[in-house]
Structures are given as structure tokens and as C-alpha cells.
Structure 1
Amino acid sequence: MEYRFVHHWNYELGEQEHATLEAAISLTSKARHDNFLHEVGVFIAEHTGALYVLIGLLSDDNQHITTCIFLKNKKVVDNFTYPLQHTPCDSVLTQKFCYYPFNVSKNFPEDAELQELNIESYLGSIFLSEESEPIGLIALMDAKPLENPAFSEHLILVLSPAIEEELNKLKSNI
């Protein structure tokens, strides 16, 4: 699959980050199961420190996202569908990657969920179908700036092919 432009962060991976990326590769090589996206979401939350992790499928009309997994503090929250307009997720679809280190809720005042959840920072990346079309996205959100956004982006890129496979399976079953 084709991948998008990677931001060139100015940092070097430490030993722990290398170990985490190795664990991510191992996770994607295991046999898949129905809870794979949950397992990946928890893995991402644990290793990025993000308060919220959302993995969602894009609607056929590209106007809504339906969450496949939504975690708060590594705990599953009920799935829901939300409109993309006036959200940072809409920016992800056009830019393929977005990072708002602070004030994301102020930048998107019409996004009521950001306000309710008191979201300060947001990092999102697009997922692609087998035809290299947008199929879904991931968003890491927190009430404070994300601890290491550069590493978070690298971790998402390592996990993206496996997540995309799962989203493609889900989409084909709809």
C-alpha cells in the first residue's frame, strides 16, 4: 500500500522506543482475532501515553466516521458515529496527517466532543484501502500535550498496514 508523507522530526529513537517498535512488529505478525483493533489501541495508548485513542471507519460518502475502537484510559467506550465537518479528523482526510500540539478545542469550536472531553492536543493519521483511497483514521487525543508526538507518528506508521487490513475486512463485511 502507498503511504503518506512522513514528518521529519528531529530526534533519535532511544532503546525503549526501539523495543516498542519491535513489539509493535511482533503484534502485527501474530494471528489476528476479533479483538485485534482493541489490542492495537491499548498498545498505542500504553506506549504513547495518549488519554484517548480512536480508530474509525470512513462512511461511503466520506462525511462521517464510525468508531471501531474508542478508548479512554485504555478502557473501551461505546462506539459511535460522528460527522467530520468542523473536526480535526476532517483535516486528517485532506492532509493525511495532522498534529495539533495544543489548543485543538479552540481551533475547532464547533466540535462539541472536543469541548466536552477537554481535548488539548490531537494527532491523527489516515488509513488507506487496498485501492489507496481513504478508508479510516486514527486519532490520539489528550487533555495535555502528547508526550512524544514524533514517536507516536512512527508507532502508528509501523502499525498502519495491520490496522488497514482489519479496516478493509470490516468494510467488506458491511
Structure 2
Amino acid sequence: MSPTSINFSTGKLQAPTLPPNSDLVTYWINQANNWLNENIDYTQAITAASALAAGTRWAIISKRLGHDSSRVKMLALFDQGEFKDCQIYDFIGTPCEEVLSKDKFCLFSNVQKAFPDDPDLVEMGVMDYAGCALRDKNNKSVGHLFVMHDQPINNFDEVEEIILAMIAILKLEWDFD
């Protein structure tokens, strides 16, 4: 995959020049950090870097609306190189429910078959989904970062590395109050 970079002032995608022998995962972790240093909204920086690094169509960061709530609010939604309007949704019966309930990276191939009660997956044409919960100091899930793609995700190891690295960055920026 050829890496691209988003220019936040124009909203345009650009192809950056990579140093020789550059690792794409490391590149995108550094790119997310650079955007954060430029005072770009951390949720936008992390979702953009996650989708671009993983080579997926979508990346989303959500925040749970209370520890016992079955609803989350999207804080950033990156879709095909653009930020889209965020929404609140109920995660019961979705892959998000699985991710929020586990303390590890989760990957779902053929996600529509695995979660037949989630009509949004069918409507959007999502094939694969990968994500990880963000946990507070009491190990309660407070949100999650996930990527989805309308094609099979073939670079599972890289996607896991990307998601876990971005979760680590997210923990540094997140307001847990």
C-alpha cells in the first residue's frame, strides 16, 4: 500500500515522501504524533492515521455514554479520506459490544455473518472489523478505536500493531473525567 497523508487545513490527501527502508506502521505512529504536536484534534489525528496505516476505509473513535450504558458517541469518523458527521448509537449485538467487553484486540473477518443482527454492517458493506477498547484506571471500558473495511483485511498483524499503538497514544490524550 502506498501511504498517504491528510492535510488538515485543506482536507486533501497527499502522498508523503518516505525515507528509504521506512516501516509503514512506524511512519503512521509518527504521523499521528506530528499531527498532535500541530494541535490537530487528537481524535481526528488518531482516526486518520489508523485508517491510512491499516489501509481500511473507516476508522472510528467512540466514547461510552456511562460505564453501564449500551450507547456510545462517535468522537471522530474517518471514511475514505474524509471526516464525516458523528452519531450516537446502541452497540448491543454489534462487534463494538464484543470489543468493549474484552481487554484485548479483536478482529472479525466476514463480520456481517458473525453479527447478523447489525443491519449497519450490511448497509455499509463492511466485510472486516478490528478494534480495541480504551480502559480507564479501574479497567472499565470507556470507549474504543476500531477500523472497518469493505474488502478483506489481509494484514492482520500490522492492523493489530497499529490499533494497539494508537490506543496507547489515545490513552495519553484522553480526558478520563
Please give the TM-score of this superposition, normalised by the length of structure 1. Answer: 0.78
* Closer, same or farther: CA 35–77 of 1 in aligned 2, 3 Å: same
Please, which of 81, 93, 100 is the counterpart of residue 108 of structure 2?
A: 100
**Counterpart residue identity of residue 24, structure 1:** I
Counterpart CA distance in 1 for 2:59 and 2:27 is 21
Counterpart CA distance in 2 for 1:55 and 1:131 is 20
Alignment match, 1:139: 146
**Counterpart residue identity of residue 36, structure 1:** Y
TM-superposed deviation, 1:68: 0.5
Q: Which has the higher contact order (CA 8 A, sep 6+)?
A: 1
TM-superposed deviation, 1:21: 1.7
Alignment match, 1:43: 49
* Closer, same or farther: CA 131–154 of 1 in aligned 2, 3 Å: same
TM-superposed deviation, 1:74: 2.1
Specify which structure has the higher proportion of helix: 1
Counterpart CA distance in 2 for 1:141 and 1:24 is 19
Root-mean-square deviation (Å): 2.1
Task: Answer whether contact 1:25 1:159 (CA < 8 A) is retained.
Answer: no
* Alignment length (residue pairs): 154
Task: Answer whether contact 1:127 1:164 (CA < 8 A) is retained.
Answer: yes
Counterpart CA distance in 2 for 1:32 and 1:130 is 28
Q: Percent identity?
A: 20
Counterpart CA distance in 2 for 1:145 and 1:52 is 13
TM-superposed deviation, 1:26: 6.4
Secondary structure of 2:139 counterpart: coil
Gaps of 5+ in 2: 1-20
Task: Answer whether contact 2:132 2:167 (CA < 8 A) is retained.
Answer: no
TM-superposed deviation, 1:32: 6.8
* Closer, same or farther: CA 100–23 of 1 in aligned 2, 3 Å: closer
Task: Answer whether contact 1:49 1:147 (CA < 8 A) is retained.
Answer: no
TM-superposed deviation, 1:111: 1.0
**Counterpart residue identity of residue 99, structure 1:** L
TM-superposed deviation, 1:34: 5.2
Gaps of 5+ in 1: 1-14
- Is 1:20 aligned to 2:25, yes or no? yes
Task: Answer whether contact 2:28 2:49 (CA < 8 A) is retained.
Answer: no
**Counterpart residue identity of residue 68, structure 1:** L
